[in-house]
Amino acid sequence: MTRLLGALAALLLVGGVFLLPQADEGRLAAARAAELLDTEYATALVEKFGEDDGTTWSLSMGQVSGIEAEQSQVTRQAVARAMRAAAVDAGKQLSLDGTASPSTDGVNFSVSLEDVEGERTLTLQAARAAESADASGGFSPPAPTSLLPPLVAIALALLFRKPILALFAGVLAAGCLLRADAGLLASLNPIAATSDVGLALWRQLADTDKAQVVGFVIAMLAMVGVITHNGGLRGVMDLVAARAKDARRTQIATWVMGLVVFFDDYANTILCGSTMRPLTDRFRVCREKLAYLVDSTAAPVAGISIFSTWVAFEVSQYAPQLPAAGMSAADGYAVFVQTIPYRFYCLFALALCGMVAFTGRDFGPMLAAERRARATGEVVRKDGTPMVSELVTEMAPAEGVTTRAWRALVPISVFVLFTVGWVLYTGYVGASESAFESAFESLGLRSAFVLD
């Protein structure tokens, strides 16, 4: 019955795409026009029509016309967002007038969409008096079928309960859509689509920032493997087990450890999960409960920590838009701190997780899973397939090795200190030549996390 409902839901999701109306092309073009306004074009606009005092760009926006008259405000807002993002990329502050209504003697922007040699071309032009500057590029309005890749992934996940298969199928569907203009046979060619997916994957791996994230995770996994074989992880487990003498205390220890590893959610998941899994198995805590405790502390604690890799990324996303609210892009970190009391998911998830661990109260499917584990010792249900392979769960110290907690605590401490120190260095060194002089002061911490 469950599979039947999943198949029905999957069919409705995918089929519903073809019932969606086509979005207005003019509005899409007005919003997409700002994508033409990259850092190079924005710099050229400031040099021609605005002012640059070395740290701040100043520019005024005049009349804005879109594909149709009613799209002018859409274009104005899109251009304003693009200008702020371009200023941040160029390491500048931006003073932009005329974002709500035309400014006197401001630069006039216009968007045009026309057919050039059989292709749709979108052009964004900036002009004042007799001077003008424009940028153009191809335009292909997204159709409702652009929603197919995520819906295919969701549908297959519901139907087969195989997330990796579902995600790959979603990416493959995207590859087929990229070849849709070449005709039906070309778009349905799985070999060509797979080659496109492989090329896209290679481009992502070739990106330095993304490669560093992958390397970061691989290094953490390697460290876990080393401290497992050298007896360090078992030593930490024995150290915790001396105080966590039952299932409830083990759950509390898992929750506390999740709070301690606050600087990165990936590191939290890998370190806490690997360290506590043997201990929770010993005290017959079901894997479902371990997954809940680890997952409900990893992302939430990184989301409210004033010092985490997630915060650095988050601030970099919204800081360029703060000038629209009358603030400076450099106020991004201060805004984050002020929003901590309103991060209800993070706060409530951590609180509920701790409440469940301390009280030992469970409900719903979690209660059934805990009763199964306590009564039978089956921490994984009979038809369950853990996401972690047996190779990882069955890793044990090398033969003849004496278990010592310090063999794990030293590498983990070095790893944490180096990660924290490197975040401070790479962030703050760009803001001041004396990178470590005031790195631990309020200004230093803010500078480390704000891309200004």
pLDDT in tens, 221-231: 787 778 778 88
CA 177 from centroid of its chain's CA atoms: 24
Residue 238 corresponds to which tokens in the numbers above?
């024995």
More confidently predicted of 392 and 237: 237
Task: Please give the structure tokens belonging to residue 206.
Answer: 């070739």
The position carrying tokens 């298969």 is 165
User: pTM value?
Assistant: 0.57
What would the mean pLDDT of 147-153 be, rounded to a whole number? Answer: 83
**Mean pLDDT (whole number) for 89-93:** 79
Does the structure show a pLDDT above 80 at 339? yes
Provide the pLDDT confidence category of residue 350 given band limits of 50, 70 and 90: very high
Nearest to 401 by CA among 246, 263, 170, 232: 232
Number of residues that this document lists for the chain: 452
Confidence of residue 451 (pLDDT cuts 50, 70, 90): very low
Q: Are 395 and 230 in contact (CB under 8 A)?
A: no
| Position 352 confidence tier, pLDDT thresholds 50, 70, 90 | very high
The 3-state DSSP class for residue 28 equals: helix
Per-residue confidence (pLDDT) for residue 69, from 0 to 100: 55
Look up residue 290 and give its two tokens. Answer: 């371990």
Task: Summarize pLDDT for 367-380 with one digit per residue, the tens.
Answer: 888 888 888 877 77
- Distance, in Å, from the CA atom of 39 to the CA atom of 91, rounded to the nearest integer, reads 10
Tell me, what's the pLDDT at 7?
A: 66
Closest CA to 276 of 258, 297, 296, 298: 258
Burial class, 102, CB count within 10 angstroms (exposed 0-12 / middle 13-18 / buried 19+): middle
pLDDT at residue 351 is higher than 90: yes
317, burial (CB in 10 Å: exposed 0-12, middle 13-18, buried 19+): exposed
**Residue 348 pLDDT exceeds 90:** yes
Please state whether beta strands 119-128 and 131-138 pair in parallel, antiparallel, or not at all (unpaired).
antiparallel
Per-range mean pLDDT, top range of 125-129, 195-199, 384-388: 125-129
| pLDDT value of position 347 | 92
| pLDDT range class, residue 401, cuts 50, 70, 90 | confident
Confidence of residue 180 (pLDDT cuts 50, 70, 90): low
- CA dist 179 and 189 (Å) reads 9
Please name which of 61, 146, 72, 133 lies closest in space to residue 95, comparing C-alpha atoms.
61
The larger pLDDT score, comparing residue 291 to residue 421, is at 291
Where are any strands of DSSP class E within 29-143?
51-52, 56-65, 93-97, 107-116, 119-128, 131-138
Residue 352 CA to residue 283 CA, distance in Å, equals 22
Asked whether the predicted pLDDT for residue 448 surpasses 60, the reply is no
| pLDDT band per the 50, 70, 90 thresholds, residue 403 | confident
Q: Are 75 and 108 in contact (CB under 8 A)?
A: no
